């Protein structure tokens, strides 16, 4: 199931990771998705207005992105519009950083578990990775002691996510500042990349400020994919203070995709400039869904541990070793399709097999409740089966 680095049959430049199946498999009880409910095109058109798009010319876009989009992102993140480069999702930003900021053999320190392409884009570009594991048992707090040990004068980039995928754990401003101080001491050439793809997916509380305002060495990535529910627009951004690096990344983007789609960027700009009306009901729904999940987990706490997320529509749970031995864990994964269930295995993100990512924002509330009941039935079936001679 997970990528096997010892496999000789895979000749791809990027490691093969079964997370790709999320694009093609969608079972009725889909608890594998990381997004909030998909926004429909009709909802978006109602927000943006068709008339505002009629005269849009479908030529190439501009190299750094549509000015209205850059201005909208800048306003939301508290930076200058010139600092923003549009990308096709945060995903393109991950690739551009791996390919252009880094050179083969450069060192990058990355906090794991993480979104597979955050790591695999670096592997594909020949970067020397230093992975610093955050632990389920420590609530996935960033381990600054281990981070410090991994930093060297050769470190070119440090990569973290906030909130992280798969766990939804946010990094506080204090932690990011401590990390920047460590980098200043040990890795003066390094930039800090903070993946903020889930930043605005809160549960109703205030949205933490973007890390882009903390320091010129910070590069931020984000998109309309998660909190806004519009991953199909394929619109994201990088925020880069350093003008030289920004120009390099813009030239790299031109060489890979020429420009973003003006239509997608105009729709995303319209969405972002009115986004509170989209985010508010989604945040209320996430809060309700998290409440349901928390109560369900409390009832399942003899069999499942969890790390409560700080943001995003996703979190990590663990099949307790005192209930599920390794054979039962394998049976659990095998049982899911029969229960119409879909979960994201921890192994995709560099975690143990017994840990899984559960997405609680994708299904409507009624569907979530039914899916959690199906998960209870699946665990019952696995453990009943286990107790048979």
Ligand X SMILES: Cc1ncc(COP(=O)(O)O)c(C=O)c1O
Shortest distance, position 84 Cβ to ligand X, whole Å:
15
Nearest distance in Å: CB 223, ligand X? 3
What separation in angstroms does the CA of 382 have from each of 1, 323, 325, 333?
19, 10, 11, 9
Q: Please, what is the minimum distance in Å from the beta carbon of residue 50 to ligand X?
A: 25
What burial letters (b/e) apply to 264-286, b meaning 16+ CB within 10 Å? bbbbbbbbbeebeebbeebbebb
CB of 114 to ligand X, least distance (A): 7
Dihedral (CA of 178, 179, 181, 185) sign: positive
Question: Nearest-CB residue to ligand X?
Answer: 89
Least distance (Å) between residue 60 CB and ligand X: 21
- 115 vs 191, beta carbon nearer ligand X: 115
65: left (phi over 0), alpha (psi -120 to 50) or beta: left
Nearer to ligand X by Cβ, of 167 and 250: the residue is: 167
Q: State which residue, 170 or 303, has the beta carbon closest to ligand X.
A: 170
Q: CB of 225: closest distance to ligand X in angstroms?
A: 3
When the beta carbons of 231 and 270 are compared against ligand X, the nearer one is 231
> In terms of CB distance, is 97 or 319 closer to ligand X?
97
**Is 185 buried (19+), middle (13-18) or exposed (0-12) by CB count in 10 A?**
exposed
Q: Measure the CA angle with vertex 155, ends 150 and 158; round to 5°.
A: 75
**Inter-CA distances, 302 with 251, 280, 307, Å:** 54, 35, 15
Closer CB to ligand X, 154 or 232, in the complex: 232
* Comparison of 208 and 236: residue with beta carbon closer to ligand X: 236
Residues lying near ligand X in the complex (CB under 6 A) are found at 34, 89-91, 115, 161, 165, 195, 197, 223, 225, 231, 236
Identity of the residue, 166 or 382, whose beta carbon is nearer to ligand X in the bound complex: 166
Report in angstroms how near the CB of residue 135 gets to ligand X at its nearest.
19
Cβ closest to ligand X, residue 74 vs residue 94: 94
- Output 223 or 241, the one with its CB closest to ligand X: 223
């Amino acid at each position: 199931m997970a990528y096997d680095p010892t496999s000789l049959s895979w000749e791809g430049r990027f490691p093969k990771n079964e997370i790709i199946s999320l694009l093609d498999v969608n079972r009725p009880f889909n608890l594998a998705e990381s997004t909030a409910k998909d926004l429909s095109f009709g909802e978006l058109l109602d927000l943006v207005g068709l008339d505002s798009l009629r005269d849009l010319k479908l030529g190439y876009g501009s190299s750094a992105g549509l000015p209205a989009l850059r201005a909208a992102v800048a306003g939301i993140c508290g930076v200058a519009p010139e600092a923003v480069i549009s990308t096709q999702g945060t995903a393109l930003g991950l690739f551009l950083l791996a390919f252009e900021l880094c050179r083969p053999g450069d060192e990058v320190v990355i906090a794991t578990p993480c979104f597979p392409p955050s790591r695999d884009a670096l592997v594909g570009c020949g970067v020397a990775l230093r992975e610093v594991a955050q632990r389920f048992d420590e609530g996935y707090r960033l381990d600054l002691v281990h981070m410090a040990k991994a930093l060297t004068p050769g470190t070119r980039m440090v990569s973290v996510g906030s909130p992280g995928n798969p766990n939804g754990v946010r990094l506080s401003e204090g932690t990011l500042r401590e990390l920047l101080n460590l980098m200043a001491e040990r890795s003066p050439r390094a930039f800090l990349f903070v993946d903020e793809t889930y930043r605005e997916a809160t549960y109703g509380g205030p949205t933490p400020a973007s890390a882009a305002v903390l320091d010129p060495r910070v590069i931020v990535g984000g998109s309309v994919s998660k909190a806004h529910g519009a991953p199909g627009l394929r619109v994201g951004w990088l925020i880069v203070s350093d003008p030289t690096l920004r120009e390099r990344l813009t030239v790299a983007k031109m060489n890979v995709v020429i420009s973003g789609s003006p239509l997608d960027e105009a729709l995303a700009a319209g969405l972002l400039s009115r986004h509170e009306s989209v985010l508010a009901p989604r945040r209320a729904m996430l809060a309700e869904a998290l409440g349901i999940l928390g109560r369900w987990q409390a009832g399942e706490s003899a069999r499942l541990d969890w790390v409560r997320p700080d943001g995003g529509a996703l979190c990590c749970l663990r099949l307790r070793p005192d209930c599920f031995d390794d054979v039962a864990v394998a049976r659990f994964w095998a049982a899911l399709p029969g229960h119409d269930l879909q979960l994201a295995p921890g192994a995709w993100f560099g975690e143990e097999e017994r840990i899984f990512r559960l997405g609680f924002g994708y299904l409507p509330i009624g569907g979530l409740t039914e899916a959690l009941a199906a998960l209870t039935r699946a665990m019952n079936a696995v453990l009943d089966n286990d107790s048979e001679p």
